[in-house]
């Protein structure tokens, strides 16, 4: 089980949901990923939602947290209040990584390409800039803690994009 597989399932889930219902929620994407996870039997891996600090998706390997995810979706302009929510998710993932140092924590954004440039955090380089290559490090001072974001995987589709950052 790898991060790449989760992102591939997020892409498939988003495509399916946009075709069927148009308006989708983060929980719709997460639940589809869990369905796909359960269909493909995962030896030694299990998944859960809203555990480990109430994270959106947790993948366990032999009972221990292995991958922890927070998902956000934006198909409209991103408001300042939503940037605060993104920062809280970064803080939550940072805490999870500190608690379970052997696991990897990821923030995943599903959005239309035209809106991701709106998500600027004051005092931080624009982490959603599509022209920035993978593995770039971004730093955020959040409530006195230095959080590091690493561009990990991205997929640009005609109607949407899926971007992910590893949080440490």
Q: Look at the pTM and tell me if it is higher than 0.75.
A: yes
User: 139-152 burial string, b = 16+ CB within 10 Å, else e?
Assistant: ebeeeeeebebbbb
Q: In total, how many domains does the chain have?
A: 1
Contacts of 84 (CB under 8 A, 6+ apart): none
Give the angle subtended at the CA of 150 by the CAs of 149 and 155, to the nearest 5°.
120
The full length of the chain comes to 168
Three-state secondary structure call for residue 136: coil
SS3 call for 90: helix
Which pLDDT tens digits describe the chain residue by residue (168 residues)? 789 999 999 999 999 988 887 678 888 999 999 999 888 877 888 888 876 668 899 999 999 999 999 998 877 766 776 778 888 899 999 999 999 989 999 999 888 766 666 556 665 566 666 666 777 888 888 888 899 999 888 888 888 889 899 999
Q: Is 48 helix (H, G, I), strand (E, B) or coil?
A: strand
Contact 107, 121 (CB under 8 A): no
Helical pair 3-20 and 26-39, crossing angle rounded to 10 deg: 120
- Domain extent at residue 23: 3-167
Q: Which residues pair with 165 in a beta bridge?
A: 107, 151
């Amino acid at each position: 089980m790898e991060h790449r597989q989760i992102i591939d399932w997020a892409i498939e889930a988003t495509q399916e949901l946009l075709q069927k219902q148009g308006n989708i929620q983060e929980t719709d994407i997460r639940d589809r990923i869990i369905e796909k996870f359960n269909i493909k039997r995962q030896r030694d891996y299990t998944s859960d939602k809203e555990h480990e600090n109430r994270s959106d998706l947790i993948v366990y390997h032999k009972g221990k947290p292995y991958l922890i995810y927070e998902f956000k979706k934006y198909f409209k302009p991103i408001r300042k209040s939503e940037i605060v929510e993104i920062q809280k998710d970064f803080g939550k993932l940072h805490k999870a990584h500190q608690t379970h140092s052997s696991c990897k924590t990821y923030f995943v954004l599903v959005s239309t390409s035209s809106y991701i440039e709106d998500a600027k955090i004051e005092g931080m380089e624009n982490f959603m800039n599509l022209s920035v290559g993978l593995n770039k490090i971004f730093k955020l001072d959040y409530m006195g803690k230095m959080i590091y974001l690493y561009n990990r995987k991205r997929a640009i589709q005609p109607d949407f994009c899926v971007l992910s950052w590893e949080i440490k």
